[in-house]
Chains A and B, each alone.
Chain A
Amino acid sequence: MIDVDLHNLVAVVTMGDGDRLASADIGYAQQLRDAIRDSADLDTVKAIVLRSADPDFFPPLSASQRQAAQRVRASQPRAWHAAFCAPTGLYQNLAYCKKFTLTQVAGPCAGPGSMLVLCTDHTVCADDARFEAPFADLPESNMVLAMLTLRLNRAKGWVLGEDDWDAAQAQAAGLVNRVTTRQALAGAAIEAAQAAARIPLDGVAMTKLLLEAFLDTQGIGQEFDMAPLYADALRLAELDDAQESTR
């Protein structure tokens, strides 16, 4: 279930059952993509807030979710690619969205949640948020985008380092723009979205056009194009792990 509320030039997209993304649910990814794309198409919307209906944004993936996602990628590779990482897919529609985008995060943020954060322009989080790197779970996750957002060594530290990041670390690293309390979170997110919505509509459009060109020169689109290869590599790594554990 995905709800879209329009209010004062801001569309608030609320994900119920967001964990379906963790299982690579193609239908859910399409619904979320459509909600974002349709909102962005409205001249009455300048900013889009993405949040979860659950108290926590995106808990770490369970083993069964990983297996389910692996089955989808193996059995429907083209549909998976189209829904998640192709130019028609969820993440590129968000990264290259025509309007200002914002993620509102509370509690754990892993897998698809971290990818949604990387793909949005702005992130406001609660002080109890924790951010886990998505690369071991999602072959469609975009490491170049992480390197661009965090800078090179911080991104490598997030990928290879031992821990997820708390809200303060994420803010210091440049992943998060503002940290607040859980109680103040929804208000802070709307406030940030409305601040961006003060830009004239053509200003928003021009900004996003220029941003799209910038992201492409940085290799963001090429990294998305590599996702099917990464999916194959991840499948082989998981097979190796499974064989190793049965020895």
Chain B
Amino acid sequence: MKAYGNPESLARAEDQVLLEVSPEGVARITLNRPEKHNAMTVPMRRRLMALVHQCEADDRVRVIVFAGNGKSFCSGNEINEDWGQRQPGTRRMSLSMANRYASDLNYGRQAFSQAITRCSKPTVLRLHGYCAAAAYFMIGTRCDLVVVTPSSKIGALEARFLGPAGAVSATHINRILGTKAARRYGYSGAVMTGEDALRVGLAHRCVPDEGMDAEVSRLALRLARRSPAMTHYLMKRVRAAESLFETNVREVNGMLFSHFLQAAPDEAHFWTQVKASGVAGALAADKERLAKATGDAGAAGSAPGRAHMQGMVGSP
């Protein structure tokens, strides 16, 4: 699979997603980008997936704990990121690239959210602060046992500004919260507190902030100390039942389309141009930008339909 990212994000990913394995067999995968509330870059997601696979293959690992450094578990995907999603000179990510993004990096059978839901070892989430957007979709609602505090802030909060409310139709979220709660939180982009999460069935435990580490350790150690054969049996049963229950159905909706709809910086510029010089002027400027980006001097010269557009739209 192609390694997407930019030179900086690729270079930093190893330090931004950390793995420790305790002598008791508790693997702890920690997001470590606290200055950005652990927003996940594309290389971070790829590294996270690789670490889940590494834990899966490591017989010492009995249970996997996900955690985040700093004020929040994770604010979601890094949306202000150039990871190679657009060809030079194009305004939007192509549908083909969006499909690769959704399939390989997020929701497909080989992507990291399904690496968690198909993991044969139990997973525990230490959820403090924000667990928003993609973090909610791809980790928060995928881990087996979720520990929260009353101050946790959870949900598809991006629905407020990013377009479609994928959390409304996601199968696994409906299975966890129930359909009414999934729709209420999904449509509104409302914050779910830790207490709400316990009430609607997302969280297994809600403990005070100061008790979080002790509770996560207690749960993880208890799982780690169980008979490995029995844990393996129970996890096989859980995963088989989840599969019959169709919770791993690929969620094409939210992430794919919301990213597809995102305005890139030059698209925002296009609409600024429209205000200044009308659609025709903006199209002309766009052609010039395209010509510069692609080195095609001829592209700027003829703009099909330009006169027609001018006639239709007129002056600003």
* Residues of chain A having any CB pair with chain B under 8 Å: 135-136, 143-144, 146-148, 150-157, 159-162, 173, 218-219, 222-223, 226, 230, 233-234, 236-238, 240-241, 244
In contact, B229 and A157 (Cβ under 8 angstroms): no
Q: Closest residue to A225 on the B side, CB-wise?
A: B244
Q: Does B271 contact A (CB under 8 A)?
A: no
CA distance A155 to B204 in the complex (A): 10
**Closest CB in chain B relative to A217 CB, distance in Å:** 10
CA distance A153 to B142 in the complex (A): 9
Q: Check if A157 sits within 8 Å of B204, measured CB to CB.
A: yes
Per the bound structure, the CA–CA distance linking A241 and B232 in Å amounts to 11
Whether A136 touches B202, Cβ cut-off 8 Å, given contacts A147-B175, A147-B241, A157-B145, is no
Contact among B178, B236, B244 for A233, CB-based, below 8 A:
B236
| Pair A233/B233 contact, Cβ less than 8 Å | yes
Contact of B245 among A147, A161, A162, A236 (CB under 8 A): A147
Nearest CB on B from A57, distance (A):
23
Note all chain A residues with C-beta closer than 8 A to B246: 219
- CB atoms of A151 and B201 under 8 A apart: yes
Interface: B283 (CB within 8 A):
no
Q: Is the CB of B241 within 8 A of A144?
A: yes
Which A residues touch B154, using CB under 8 A? none
Specify the main secondary structure of chain B where it touches its partner. Answer: helix
**Given A136-B230, A237-B232, A241-B229; A153-B201 close (CB under 8 Å):** yes
- Residues 114-135 of chain B, each 1 if its beta carbon lies under 8 Å from chain A, else 0: 0000000010000000000000
Residue ID in chain B nearest A221 by CB atoms: B244
B200 CB to nearest chain A CB (Å): 8
Contact A244 B229 (CB under 8 A): yes
Question: Counting chain A CB atoms within 10 Å of each CB, which of B176, B232, B233 scores highest?
Answer: B233
With beta carbons under 8 angstroms apart, the residue of B177, B222, B234, B237 that contacts A162 is B222
Task: Indicate if the CB atoms of A219 and B244 lie closer than 8 Å.
Answer: yes
The one of B219, B240, B245 in contact with A152, judged by C-beta atoms closer than 8 angstroms, is B245
- Which residues of chain A come closer than 8 Å to B203, judged between CB atoms? 153
- Docked-complex contact B145 and A156, CB < 8 angstroms: yes
Contact A241 B227 (CB under 8 A): yes
> How far is A221 from B172 in the complex, measured between Cα atoms in Å?
20
Q: List A contacts of B97 (CB < 8 A).
A: none
Chain A contacts for B233, CB-based, 8 A:
136, 233-234, 236-237
Report the Cα distance A236→B178, complex, angstroms.
Answer: 35
Q: Which residues of A contact B104 (CB under 8 A)?
A: none
Enumerate chain B interface residues (CB-CB to A < 8 A). 122, 144-146, 172, 175-178, 201-204, 219, 222-223, 227-230, 232-234, 236-238, 240-242, 244-247
Give bound CA distance, A173 to B200, whole Å.
9
Nearest-Cβ distance from residue B92 to partner chain A, whole angstroms: 35
**Cα of A148 to Cα of B204 in the assembled complex, Å:** 17
* A residues in contact with B222, CB < 8 Å: 162
- In the complex formed, the residue of B with least CB distance to A222 is B244
Cβ of B237 to closest chain A Cβ, rounded Å: 5
What's the minimum C-beta distance from A93 to chain B, rounded to whole angstroms?
21
Chain A residue at smallest Cβ distance from B63: A160
The reply to whether A223 and B241 form a contact with Cβ atoms under 8 Å apart is: yes
**Distance of A159 Cα from B178 Cα, bound (Å):** 19
CA distance A123 to B241 in the complex (A): 23
The answer on a CB contact under 8 Å between A160 and B201 is no
Instruction: Give Cα A143–Cα B237 distance, bound, in whole angstroms.
Output: 7
Complex CA–CA separation, A243 to B132 (angstroms)? 45
Which residue of B178, B219, B240, B247 contacts A226 across the interface (Cβ within 8 Å)? B240
* 22 pairs, CB–CB < 8 Å, chain A vs chain B: A135-B237, A136-B230, A136-B233, A152-B172, A152-B175, A152-B242, A153-B145, A153-B204, A156-B238, A159-B238, A160-B223, A162-B222, A218-B245, A223-B244, A230-B237, A233-B233, A233-B237, A240-B228, A240-B229, A241-B229, A244-B227, A244-B229
- With a cutoff of 8 Å between Cβ atoms, the chain B residues found around residue A241 in the complex are 227, 229-230
In the complex, what residues of B have CB within 8 A of residue A218's CB? 245
| Extra A-B contacts (11), CB below 8 Å, given A147-B245, A156-B145 | A135-B237, A144-B245, A147-B241, A151-B201, A153-B176, A153-B204, A156-B204, A159-B237, A219-B244, A237-B229, A244-B227
List the A side residues contacting B176 at CB < 8 Å. Answer: 151-153
Closest A residue to B246 by CB, please name it: A219
Assembly CA distance A234 to B235 (angstroms): 12
Chain A residues whose CB sits within 8 angstroms of the CB of B229 once the complex forms = 236-238, 240-241, 244
In the complex, the answer to whether B234 meets A160 with C-beta atoms within 8 Å is yes
Given A144-B245, A156-B238, A160-B144, A151 and B178 contact (CB-CB distance below 8 Å)? yes
Docked Cα-Cα span, A56 to B75, in Å, equals 49
A84 to B203: give the CA distance in the assembly, Å. Answer: 33
- CB-CB nearest in chain B for A239: B229
- In the bound complex, residues from chain A placing their C-beta under 8 Å from that of B237 are 135, 143, 159, 230, 233
Whether A154 pairs with B227 at a CB distance below 8 angstroms is: no
